[in-house]
Amino acid sequence: MPARMHYTVLEPSSTERVAIRGLEYNVRRWGPADAPKVFLLHGWMDTSATFQFVVDALRHDWQLIAPDWRGYGETTWLHRPYWFPDYYADLEALLAHYAPAGPVRLVGHSMGANIAGIYAGLRPQRVARLAMLDFIGLKAPADVDAPQQLGRWLDAQLAPPPARIYADRAALAERLRAVNPRLTPARAEFLCRHLGRVRADGQVEIAGDPWHKIPSPAVYRIEDAMACWRRVRAPVLMLVSAEGYVHDRFGDEPEELQRRIDCFADARVVTVADCGHNLQHDQPEVVAAELEAFLDREIP
């Protein structure tokens, strides 16, 4: 691939293996060890490297800690169904390892924001700042009840979900740009090296366990999430993509959107223009500036 197609990394990362609750977690790190800590939490079918463009746009030194969640990237894959509450316990174990004392700064995108937002309500004393990127809860289908949901989950146990396969990394990069036309060729090439892994036959698959794709056994209840959000003490920054998931789900329901935002005692909402759901890819400079204006460097 021509050199001009390669993304120039300004702040290189390193990775390390950490034993977390019986799994080998892959944790990516940027910045000096004596800088203020920030935990970066990626979304569904993504990996820790998704934050590279934002990291490169930061103006100050931060010690940035980003895990590949269980079943993603280089962290252990279960090859069986996942139980979502495990992510809260995994996050607690990661915080105990990297920041055993005092409150922390959490930045989460999509599923990572889901995990961070719930955790901040379960352990309000452990979170000093919470940034949620393009997430304010899901919308559950009104016509699905508990037996239907459990039945779908049970049916899905019969065989592993199929993985989407690409001929090579270039094909995956092309797919990423087709899904998100704002993605530059250089950024797509960078992402495909971290979002895809080469199989024994030379083809490339997404670096996320296909078992993540099966339906949950439980019907999603926004009231449960909102009850947790009401317990959050930390200031909250919500970065909403102008053309992302929050807009798609609640653009025609401003009252419902506000009802959810109002759960947080101290929330600031910023709409990021000209970007889709992956605002960390489309507008990393804007995301970096908003985060640095929000994250308090004086927190230990």
What pLDDT, on the 0 to 100 scale, is given for residue 3? 41
Helix segments in the chain, DSSP class H: 52-57, 86-98, 111-122, 146-155, 169-179, 185-195, 222-229, 245-250, 254-261, 279-282, 284-294
Whether 172 is covered by a domain: the verdict is no
What pLDDT, on the 0 to 100 scale, is given for residue 61? 96
Domains: count for the chain: 1
Nearest to 104 by CA among 34, 43, 36: 36
Whether 271 is covered by a domain: the verdict is yes
Report yes or no: 243 and 276 within 8 Å, Cβ to Cβ.
yes
What pLDDT, on the 0 to 100 scale, is given for residue 1? 41
Whether 177 is covered by a domain: the verdict is no
Whether 278 is covered by a domain: the verdict is yes
Whether 52 is covered by a domain: the verdict is yes
Nearest to 175 by CA among 161, 159, 191: 191
State the pairing for strand pair 23-30/14-20: antiparallel
**C-alpha–C-alpha distance, residues 78 and 71, integer Å:** 6
**C-alpha–C-alpha distance, residues 42 and 47, integer Å:** 6
First to last CA, the chain: 44
Structure tokens at 185: 């060729």
Whether 182 is covered by a domain: the verdict is no
What pLDDT, on the 0 to 100 scale, is given for residue 159? 86
**What is the dihedral sign for C-alpha 107, 110, 115, 119?**
positive
Report yes or no: 136 and 257 within 8 Å, Cβ to Cβ.
yes
Query: Residue 96 belongs to what domain range?
Result: 11-145+221-294
What pLDDT, on the 0 to 100 scale, is given for residue 2? 43
Cα radius of gyration rounded to whole Å, the chain = 19
What pLDDT, on the 0 to 100 scale, is given for residue 141? 76
What pLDDT, on the 0 to 100 scale, is given for residue 100? 96
Counting as low any pLDDT under 50, the low residues of the chain are 1-3
User: What is the DSSP secondary structure assignment for residue 39, as one 8-state letter?
Assistant: E
Whether 82 is covered by a domain: the verdict is yes
What pLDDT, on the 0 to 100 scale, is given for residue 91? 98
What pLDDT, on the 0 to 100 scale, is given for residue 114? 98
What pLDDT, on the 0 to 100 scale, is given for residue 160? 84
CATH number of the domain at 25, please.
3.40.50.1820
